[in-house]
């Protein structure tokens, strides 16, 4: 296996691992936040609007972590800084 293929394979594997690990935490956090919000709404139905608004802001912040992991994985696949070094060394 030549070095260009090795960099491609490693980039794809690392991107997959980044998405797997980077989406596990936010998904667990989102599930727990929704569970707590539903519990709070069940206990105090009058505060539903305030709790829902706060929940959506929190969910957006949690989701941004998964989006950052997606961006990093796309950078690793398509704009890998090692490509220039490998191509220069090989050619």
What whole-number distance in Å separates Cα of residue 11 and Cα of residue 74? 10
pTM, two decimals, is: 0.75
Structure confidence at residue 80 (pLDDT): 82
Instruction: With respect to residue 89, please indicate whether it lies within any of the assigned structural domains.
Output: no
Instruction: With respect to residue 82, please indicate whether it lies within any of the assigned structural domains.
Output: no
Structural domain range at position 60: 3-77
Q: How many angstroms separate the first and last alpha carbons of the chain? A: 16
| Contact call for residues 40 and 47 (beta carbons, < 8 A) | yes
Instruction: With respect to residue 73, please indicate whether it lies within any of the assigned structural domains.
Output: yes
CATH number, residue 27: 1.20.20.10
| Contact call for residues 14 and 76 (beta carbons, < 8 A) | yes
Q: What is the pLDDT of residues 20-60, one digit of tens each?
A: 999 999 999 999 999 999 999 999 999 999 999 999 999 99
Q: What is the pLDDT of residues 72-91, one digit of tens each?
A: 999 988 888 888 787 788 75
Instruction: With respect to residue 8, please indicate whether it lies within any of the assigned structural domains.
Output: yes
Q: Record the tokens describing residue 7, joined without a space.
A: 């960099």
Domain count for the chain: 1
Question: How far is CA 18 from each of CA 24, 26, 31, rounded to the nearest angstrom?
Answer: 10, 13, 20
Instruction: With respect to residue 72, please indicate whether it lies within any of the assigned structural domains.
Output: yes
Q: Record the tokens describing residue 90, joined without a space.
A: 């090989």
Instruction: With respect to residue 46, please indicate whether it lies within any of the assigned structural domains.
Output: yes
Instruction: With respect to residue 85, please indicate whether it lies within any of the assigned structural domains.
Output: no
């Amino acid at each position: 296996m030549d070095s260009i293929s090795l960099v491609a394979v490693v980039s794809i594997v690392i991107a997959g691992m980044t998405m797997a690990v980077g989406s596990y935490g936010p998904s667990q956090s989102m599930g727990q936040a929704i569970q707590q919000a539903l519990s709070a709404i069940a206990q105090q139905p009058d505060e539903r609007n305030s709790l829902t608004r706060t929940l959506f802001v929190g969910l957006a912040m949690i989701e941004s972590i998964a989006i950052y992991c997606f961006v990093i994985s796309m950078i690793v696949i398509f704009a890998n800084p090692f490509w220039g070094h490998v191509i220069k060394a090989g050619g």
